[in-house]
Amino acid sequence: MNAVSAQPLGRDRRWRRWAQREVSLASLAAFRVLFGAVLLVGTLRFLGRGWIEKQYVEPTFFFKYWGFSFIEVWSPTGLYLHFSAMALCAALICLGLFYRVATVGFTLLFAYAELMDVTNYLNHYMLVIWLCLLLCVSPAHGMWSLDAWRAPRLRRHTVPLFLLVTFRAQVAVVYLYAAWAKVGADWLLHGQPLDIWLSSRSDMWLVGPLFTLPATPLVMSWAGFLYDATIVLWLSIPRTRPVAYLVVLGFHGFTGALFDIGMFPGIMSVATLLFFSPSWPLRFVPHRAPPTTNPRRPAWLAPLLMGFLLVQVLLPARHVLYGGDVLWHEQGMRYAWKVMVREKAGSVTYRVVARDGHRTWHVAPTDYLTWRQANEMSGQPDLILQLGQHIAWDFARRGRGDVAVYVDALVSLNGRAAARLIDPGVDLTTVTDGIARHAWILPAPASPPLGG
């Protein structure tokens, strides 16, 4: 073999040796304990605050994800059993008891709960699913777990570095795509939508008066952008890592107090600990390594993780293929980590016209939806389409015959003057939803936010 071909082969071998070397399992085991605790608290919070009734019992119509229309909502008793099973699985993950069953069980139960109604979608719910999938294929129960206590054969002290790196990469993807989402005039030049949100929090203790200052939204917008764009770098450098983690706690603590974003601050505060040395928990909880270590690396694990990372890189960027402003047309918006970059206020009215043209009805979304559902639906074209087609089905069910359904949807994006979101001349009953670009969605307004 000549020198030219030997050089890249040598680099490849060095990379493989680096990625496959064994490092302490302690960091991943600690993440399992803390993440399981966050999931348990979040699920109990959901049960205790009556959100099952608000999100699944009170509504009479539910929006479905494309390709998942078969997902049904359980009865009230079934819902409580479902979320109780989620809480049990989260507790078992934390304890490391029946770990494989618990991680797979929680992942499936959580995913099903989110698939029951699109209006419940939040970015960090998708992050929970991705992290749970990684836990499903990791040996995070090999240390500090009841499984390792009752079955010594499960004990292990090390894990392949590439598995830990995959967890870190998942966290990095969230931050970097969130930074990319903020690269735009609305966020960096006009301080929107923070200006809208902060104006309603002027009564907040201590910092409320600062939110009334004209410069505050823009300063905070830039701070948020710089945080998302650089925090992974600071967490990756040993010298800056402790200070960076304090910044993580401060940033997510402040945003958690300012906005109702549920489990997200807890999830990110726990997940960013994975950037520390793999053995960092051993400083606080000593652990004696077994006399021998059997890596037990399944042959399928590395290709699976590579495919997982490829999905994480490509899926959030798919909105580029649609062109236009994704904050307006929403195609490619979900699963893209566009965290808190758009505020939409919409007014939606459906016009239902008999095919013979002799009668027209005007239908408000709240005739079929709860207020929360209607608010979420008003700026999302695919949900407006779903409700329009449901209205046509409901009219036929009630014996009013075959009808055409049109919609007047006026939407304001990040404080702009309201503009039409959907072509009012398109009969929604003739539209098929899917992943293709939707011509029935009108272009985004070119005007800047009011006052910008």
Q: Return d(Cα 142, Cα 154) in angstroms, integer.
A: 6
The DSSP line for 192-230 is TTHHHHHHTTTTSTTTGGGGGSTTHHHHHHHHHHHHHHH
> Residue 38: its pLDDT value, please?
97
| CA–CA separation, 331 and 434 (whole Å) | 10
Percent of the chain exceeding pLDDT 70 equals 93
pLDDT above 70: residue 260? yes
Q: How many CB atoms lie within 10 A of CB 149?
A: 12
Mean pLDDT of the chain: 92
352-382 in b/e burial notation, b at 16+ Cβ within 10 A?
A: beeeeeeeeeebebeebbbeebbbbbbbbbb
> Alpha-carbon distance 284 to 318, whole Å?
43
Give 302's pLDDT tier (boundaries 50, 70, 90): confident
The whole-angstrom separation of Cα 139 and Cα 151 is 13
Cα 377 to Cα 387: distance, rounded to the nearest angstrom: 9
pLDDT winner (highest mean) among 2-6, 27-31, 150-154: 27-31
Residues 432/211, Cβ–Cβ less than 8 Å: no
Per residue in 341-372, pLDDT (tens digit) is: 999 999 999 999 998 878 999 999 999 999 99
> Is the pLDDT score of 5 beyond 70?
no
Return d(Cα 442, Cα 419) in angstroms, integer.
Answer: 9
Angstrom distance (rounded) from CA 256 to CA 261? 6
Higher pLDDT, residue 241 or 449: 241
Question: What is the average pLDDT across 300-319?
Answer: 94
pLDDT tier, 285 (very low <50, low <70, confident <90, very high otherwise): confident
Long-range pairs for 317-322 at CB < 8 Å and ≥24 separation? 317/177, 322/437
pLDDT confidence of residue 12: 61
What average pLDDT score do residues 86-112 get? 98
CB-based burial, 74-113: b 16+ in 10 Å, e otherwise = beeeebeebbeebbbbbbbbbbbbbbeebbebbbbbbbeb
Q: What pLDDT score does 286 carry?
A: 77
**Helix, coil or strand: residue 438:** coil
Q: What is the DSSP string of 283-323?
A: GTS--PPPSS------TTHHHHHHHHHHHHHHGGGGGGGG-
For residue 428, the model assigns a pLDDT of 97
pLDDT at 3 over 80: no
Q: What is the pLDDT of residue 232?
A: 98
**Which is it for strands 419-420 and 403-413: parallel, antiparallel or unpaired?**
antiparallel
When comparing pLDDT for 300 and 83, which is higher?
83
- Confidence at 207, pLDDT banded by 50, 70, 90: confident
pLDDT at 97: 97
What pLDDT shows up at residue 7?
54
Query: CA 84, 89, 92, 97 torsion: positive or negative?
Result: positive
Domain ranges of the chain: 18-287+299-322, 343-430
Q: Is the pLDDT of residue 240 over 90?
A: yes
Structure tokens at 152: 């010594």
Q: Is a pLDDT exceeding 70 seen at residue 107? A: yes
CA distance linking residue 165 with residue 140, whole number of Å? 14
Is the confidence at residue 293, as pLDDT, over 60?
no
DSSP state of 344: E
pTM attached to this predicted model: 0.92
Question: Mind listing the pLDDT tens digit for each residue in 163-187?
Answer: 999 999 999 999 999 999 999 999 9
Residue 119 CB partners (closer than 8 Å, separation 6+): 63, 372, 373, 376, 377, 383
Write phi, then psi, for 404 (nearest 5 degrees).
-105, 145
